[in-house]
Each structure stands twice: as structure tokens, then as C-alpha cells.
Structure 1
Amino acid sequence: MLKKIFQGLKQITDIHKEVIVVIPIKLTATIMELANEILKGQQQIYFVQPFHILEKQQFVNRAWLIITDSSDCLEVAEALHTPVLVVQETSVKAMGGSHGPSVFIGSSKIQIIDWLTRLLTEAAFYEKIAVRKLVSKEKYTTDQIIQSFASKE
């Protein structure tokens, strides 16, 4: 999946020279080899160590768009009106519900490029995605949370 993401980012940065990509990832030998193979010479793409929680919040606050493989930043993205492309093997239909400014796009290189291109070139589309609200937020009382933990023991 990372190969498809790197290929998509390369194509986007080849076309859109104003785009800067920051990738917080643990730089293992395998990832570095893949990055060098696909992204060599891409001056708009930067690799950084994974963020601590406060660094992540500051970074998300400044980001124009987030591409991730997890849905751990949905509520922050909603509050900041920042679109999130969630790249996962899981089918979009299987996710169900409204995910606010997040779009589950699968892991196809074509999907990654199409979504990025549309968000970069269509301001009205970007705004439409950015202001969507999370509909299916489940709220739990403290007693429900404690009961949930107790039933797992």
C-alpha cells in the first residue's frame, strides 16, 4: 500500500510544484529503499519522525489536507475543517456512516491521484468536504465506559 501512496504523491508533486508533502513515518531500511526507488529527486516531499501528540496537533492545525492509513484524526480534522483522505484496504462501503471531512478511498493509486487532484484544483469541492460533519458520533457515559472495560475482563 505504501508503494501506491508514494507513486501517487510523486505524480501529484510532478504536476503541482506548489504542493509540499510531509510524511511522518518511522524510517526503516525497507521504507527508505522504497522511498529512494520512487521519490528520489522529489524536492517537495519531506520525511520526518512520527509526531508526539502535541506535535501532531500542531501539525494537523497547519495542514491543508491529511492523507493517513488510520481514522485517528477525524474529530480534530472536523474541528479544523481539514479534509482527510483515509487510505485503507477496507472497502469504502464497509465503513458505513458519515465520516465528516474524511473520505475512505481504498488503496488504489488511481483513487489517491484522483482525490488529490480534485481537492487541489476544485475549491468548491474542497470546501464541501472540509465542512462536512461527523454524524455517527457515539457518546458514552462514564458508567458505560467502566461497564465496557469490566465486561472485557
Structure 2
Amino acid sequence: MLAATKTKWLLGGIIVSLCLNLFLLGGMFGGHFPAPWGKPGKMPGVIMATVPPELKSVIREKFKNSGPESKSEREALKQEMDSKRMRVADALAAEPFDPARLEVELMELEQTASNMLSRAHRKIAEIASELTPEQRRQWAEGWREMGPPKH
């Protein structure tokens, strides 16, 4: 009985963790956070939300100049995420329900999400290496402002 309860809690924790990770990735790559930054109708992703107004054009241009291989890599990861999400949905809806299958699908989705996040981190580091020290300082302030409110 205790093992079954523990398994349910672990499975629940995995699902919650995965949802939070997907929410973050969706905001970064989809740019759909309904937040106070940006204009209605075209919300920036989380990464662009960290960029102060005076740097937005510089950073945006650097993302655009990443080249077609970067765009194709991003698109491939997005397609993989979509596929993995569908597999999780299938595992959730399956009858009879198989918790082990769901756990495997969730772990695979988590790995793909992690790959997307790693790609974003690499792109941030690449762009930061091309900025002046003053531009990096300005961008750092944007990252700090995204943190928890200071009381």
C-alpha cells in the first residue's frame, strides 16, 4: 500500500515538474506569456523580456542572423516536442492505464525539453560573447529584473 502511494506521488511530481518546464519553454520559444512586457498581440518570449528596450534591436538582429541551420534546429526540436507531447497524451488516455508507460513518455518529453533549454542557453552565451561589456551589463540588469520582487 505504501509503495503504491509513493508511486502516485512520484508520478504526480513528475507531471507537475514537466508542466512547469513546458510552461517555461513555451514562453521562451512561443512568446505567449501574457505579461506586462511587450505589446498586446505580439508578446516576446522570456529571453527577449530580459532585454532592456535600448538593446532589443541588437539582440533581435543577432537572433535573426543565427542562420538557417539554427532555425532548422529550432524547428526540429519544436516538432520533436509536439510529437513527445502527443505520446504523453496518448499514454494518459490509454485504457487500460499504464503508469509505467506514462512515466517513460514523460521522461522522454523532459529530455527533449531539456535539450531545447540547453539550446537556448547556448544561443544566449553565443550572443553575449558578441556584445560589448556595457551591453552585457545592460542585459544582466534585465535578467535581474525578471527575478522575484524585492520588498
TM-score normalised to structure 1 length: 0.23
Greater per-residue strand proportion: 1
More helix by share: 2
Give the TM-score normalised by structure 2.
0.23
Comparing both chains, which one has the higher relative contact order based on Cα–Cα distances under 8 Å and sequence gaps of 6 or more?
A: 2
